[in-house]
Amino acid sequence: MNDGNPILTLALTFGVMSLFAVGGANSAIPEMHRVAVDVHHWLTDKQFADVFAISQLSPGPNVLIVTLIGYTVGGLGGALVATVAMCLPTALLAYGVSRFLNRSSHARWPSILQASLVPLSIGLMAASALVLAETSDRTWAAILVTGAAAVLAASTRLNPLWLLLAGGCVGFMGLLG
Amino acid sequence: MPPDSSPAAIAAPDSLAPTPPSLIALFVAFAKMSLAGFGGVLVFARRAIVEQHRWMTADEFNETFALCHFLPGPNIVNLTMVFGSRFRGIAGGIAAFAGLLGPPVVIMTMRGCHCPRCCWWRPRSASPSP
């Protein structure tokens, strides 16, 4: 691709990638790794693991891993371009689709379509939660923490930050192995 | 823990907020959920939109999020544009979008986190570069 202008390459790469990232940013992580490490050699394998960890630990949506990749490639400008390229086109697409669905209010199918997406979306999230739990809960303590967090989050109005804090404390005490 | 934290209070509120949010309110609300959102913003978004501000009913939120989940791109970012524009047109969408992304991007780039070793909160996997 355009090796002369890394910023343009960033914009094109993430702009196109976002259009195929169905199901959210995490589904695009393997593709990001392939493109950033294997194709363009922007980061080493190790650096990619680091920016992934940092983006998970930072506040904000996890898609902001692209901000860190962009920063590595092109400083502040690269960070901004990568973020906008990854986020803006699909956000505008979602805006267009939502407007279209809500404008044709004389027809019943838009609301039927939107309502039918709800159970699908919930199922996908439950499945990914299950997959994550299966791979990371290797001890009884970890399973207990996952279960307690789920029960507390579902049955109380406790601010989730308290759950994160408690989970962090349990982890720091070394109880999760 | 706030005093209203009894399970009985979970029942979805019937009354929505009387006035739609202003552009500044959209920006601030999404900036807050973004900065609270360690590990993901969805939980905090639902809490703020449905329970705190009552800008949407639980059903409306589910339908809006499901659409954003189904479309390509980062779900919660799609949600900012769809949600904000529902109240204040495209300007509202952009206000929410900027609120969600602006503050964490500023934090990330100002902390110099292009270099994990410089961060006091660096992840355990980070080691000195060769």
In this prediction, the answer to ipTM > 0.90 reads no
CA A166-B28-A16 angle, to 5 degrees, is 85
Distances (CA, A) of A147 to A13, A44, A134, A174: 39, 37, 12, 18
pTM for this one?
Answer: 0.79
Q: Two tokens at A161? A: 């930050």
Classify residue B2: in a domain, yes or no: no
B115 touching A, CB under 8 A?
Answer: no
User: DSSP letters along B59-79, please?
Assistant: HHHHHHHHHHHHSBS-HHHHH
Average pLDDT taken over every residue of chain A: 85
CA distance A1 to chain B (A): 23
Residue A3: the pLDDT is 55
Q: In terms of residue numbers, what domain contains B92?
A: 20-118
Task: Count structural domains, chain B.
Answer: 1
- Answer whether residue B128 shows pLDDT above 50: no
Classify residue B100: in a domain, yes or no: yes
What is the rounded distance in angstroms from the CA atom of residue B16 to the CA atom of residue A104? Answer: 24
Classify residue B123: in a domain, yes or no: no
Least confident of B19-28, B69-78, B111-120: B111-120
Amino acid in the structure at residue A39: V
Task: Please name the residues in contact with B3: beta carbons below 8 A apart, sequence gap of 6 or more.
Answer: none
- Answer whether residue B115 shows pLDDT above 80: no
Domain spans in chain A, listed from the N-terminal domain onward? 1-103
Classify residue B29: in a domain, yes or no: yes
Classify residue B69: in a domain, yes or no: yes
- Contact of A89 with A14, CB cutoff 8 Å: no
For chain A, which ranges sit under pLDDT 50? 1-2
Classify residue B125: in a domain, yes or no: no
Classify residue B81: in a domain, yes or no: yes
Distances (CA, A) of A11 to A36, A82, A89, B115, B127: 13, 6, 11, 22, 30
Distances (CA, A) of B60 to A48, A87, A105, A118, B82: 38, 23, 15, 10, 12
- When CB atoms are compared, the residue of B9, B10, B73 closest to A94 is B73
A74 touching B, CB under 8 A?
Answer: no
CA distance B12 to chain A (A): 12
Q: What would you report as the CA-atom Rg of chain B, rounded to the nearest whole angstrom?
A: 17
**B38–A59 C-beta distance less than 8 A:** yes
Classify residue B128: in a domain, yes or no: no
